[in-house]
Amino acid sequence: MSAAVSDANLLAVNRVTVLGLLVNLFLALAKFLAGITGQSQAVVADAVHSLSDAATDLVVLWGAKFWGKPADADHPYGHRKVESFATAFIGLALGAVGLGLGYNAIVTMHEQHEASPGLEPLLAALLSIVVKEWLYRWTIRVGKQVKSSAVIANAWHHRSDALSSIPVAVAVGTSFVLPGWSFLDHVATVAVSLFILQATWKIMSQPIHDLLERGVEEAVIQQIERVVRAIPEVRDLHKIRTRSVSSAIFVDLHVHVDAHLDIAQGHDIAGQVKKTLLDSDLGIVDVLVHMEPYDPAEAAGEHARS
């Protein structure tokens, strides 16, 4: 199995991301116009959020061209770390937007509105809630289907936009009915920034782990061990090492076989171990098998040390 991403998966990623880009551009324009004409800082802030979504859509479209490439002489392990960098960029961009919006709302909290927000900002916020939640559900489904951290991160970007529009709608609606409560527009902007920062934290965890080449969870290690032990010729195994890059898992392990087997037989067993792991549903894309003669005493010692 190659570390490359299939053409079908890339097509699915591009389709959902292009649609997301168009939706985000439309919502950004609609919220900018509604926020300015309706005198709502919160809706303008929400428009900036949608515009940042559009920027990350472009990052995903650009990155997918590279992380989907197969391994080559210069990149023998493939190009999947491009996806980790793209995911990190999405998180950083989102965090910068959240901090900027929150800071601006706090320093202008004392300013009085000349007039209460109009009906247009409320309608724009409600439209954003419905459309972005629908877009989140479609994008997260595609992201899980193709096992792409960048697409999943982009989906959460959509969800954060939908969630952040809720306090905006409440604040604008309240200020529309109760003009003296126009300060809620600033409060809602701060709430938007907190939603954005929460999404940033969730998005950034995956690429940080990828770039540090963190191993997989213990539950996955146990599954790998069960799969390999099910092969009749395998007497024992140890020193299972893994690293994950986006949705791809690389495995390095030592397998014990009967000492009387010749090199060709050992090679065949190693090939069977590799094929079995690659064919599993664990997301493994490459396996390095070290063959060792089985020694019960040595095996017992290895297990005791582990």
Q: With 60 as the cut, is the pLDDT of residue 241 above it?
A: yes
- Helices and strands in the chain: count of H runs, count of E runs: 9, 3
Instruction: State which CATH number among 3.40.50.300, 3.40.50.720, 3.30.70.1350, 3.20.10.10 fits the domain covering 218-305.
Output: 3.30.70.1350
What is the residue-averaged pLDDT of the chain?
78
Every domain of the chain with CATH number 3.30.70.1350 lies at 218-305
Answering whether pTM is above 0.85, one says: no
Instruction: State which CATH number among 1.20.1510.10, 3.40.50.720, 3.40.50.2000, 2.40.110.10 fits the domain covering 7-211.
Output: 1.20.1510.10
| pLDDT tens-digit map of 66-118 | 766 766 677 766 667 777 777 788 788 778 878 877 887 777 666 655 555 66
Concatenating the DSSP letter of every residue in 2-66 gives: -SSPPHHHHHHHHHHHHHHHHHHHHHHHHHHHHHHHTT-HHHHHHHHHHHHHHHHHHHHHHHHHH
| pLDDT tens-digit map of 205-237 | 777 877 777 777 888 888 888 888 888 888 888
Q: Which of these, 33, 54, 10, 40, lies nearest to 182 by C-alpha position? A: 40
Every domain of the chain with CATH number 1.20.1510.10 lies at 7-211
